[in-house]
Chains A and B, each alone.
Chain A
Amino acid sequence: ILNVEQSPQSLHVQEGDSTNFTCSFPSSNFYALHWYRWETAKSPEALFVMTLNGDEKKKGRISATLNTKEGYSYLYIKGSQPEDSATYLCAPLADNDMRFGAGTRLTVKP
């Protein structure tokens, strides 16, 4: 079973703050890592798919890095806005199987 840990579990920040959170996963048999953004009452929305050690991806104010050797990925949000409030899920793929972390719930206060 692929153990995926995300921290922190929840985060409250002020509008304009920059923030980051972590996804940890076993580094063996790694194939790819997905990040999803999940707003309440909606379906998870794909943010990034990362495969190579040292990968960095960016989408607007959100970026992510990947370290496959030590088994972690960071998601960064620069200048958080209230509309960034959501749960951010990471999901590594290994052994032909994708498992989700429990997510980091981000709340951005205006």
Chain B
Amino acid sequence: EPEVTQTPSHQVTQMGQEVILRCVPISNHLYFYWYRQILGQKVEFLVSFYNNEISEKSEIFDDQFSVERPDGSNFTLKIRSTKLEDSAMYFCASSPQGLQGYGYTFGSGTRLTVV
């Protein structure tokens, strides 16, 4: 069964450093998403991406965050200057269509620890 692949599974970084979290969505999917879960809290929406541009973003997704689909297979989330409160599990997801009746396929997540 097709999978969404995320790398690395765990990343530790120093506060203020830039990190790039990588995702390979399912190949025929068109919509891509990033979510995060801070330990003990809800899964939070960050951003959705379609047709090489952001379609929606949440209030969390400020200027420190950016997304890119550099080569038609990878979908990356960049955090420019990490803060302690960015420590969370980050999940990438993809779906064949946007809102019409398809569940999202999630990757297994990247645990980001900012020290």
Does the CB pair B105–A49 fall under 8 Å? no
Interface residues of B in 15-52 (CB under 8 A from A): 33, 35, 41-45, 48
Q: Is residue A51 contacting chain B, with contact meaning CB distance below 8 A? A: yes
Distance between Cα atoms of A23 and B41 in the complex (Å):
17
Does the CB pair B103–A46 fall under 8 Å? yes
Q: How many chain B residues touch the partner (CB < 8 A)?
A: 26
Distance between Cα atoms of A103 and B99 in the complex (Å):
21
Of the residues A44, A45, A51, contact of B43 by C-beta under 8 Å? A44
Distance between Cα atoms of A45 and B91 in the complex (Å):
12
Specify the chain A residue showing the minimal Cβ separation from B104.
A46
Q: Check A100/B106 contact, CB under 8 A, given A31-B99, A32-B101, A49-B101.
A: no
The 8 A CB mask of A60-94 against B (1 = contact, 0 = none) is: 00000000000000000000000000000100010
Interface residues of B in 55-89 (CB under 8 A from A): 55-56, 58-59
With a cutoff of 8 Å between Cβ atoms, the chain A residues found around residue B99 in the complex are 31-32, 93, 96, 98
With a cutoff of 8 Å between Cβ atoms, the chain A residues found around residue B104 in the complex are 34, 44, 46, 98
Distance between Cα atoms of A100 and B38 in the complex (Å):
13
Does the CB pair A96–B56 fall under 8 Å? yes
Does the CB pair B45–A100 fall under 8 Å? yes
Residues of A participating in the B interface, judged by any CB pair closer than 8 Å: 1, 31-32, 34, 36, 42-49, 51, 89, 93, 96-103
15 contacts between A and B (CB under 8 A): A1-B59, A32-B100, A36-B103, A36-B106, A43-B91, A43-B106, A43-B108, A44-B106, A46-B103, A46-B104, A47-B103, A48-B103, A49-B101, A49-B103, A100-B43
5 A-B pairs with the lowest CB-CB distances in the bound complex, closest first: A46-B103, A43-B106, A100-B43, A102-B42, A43-B108
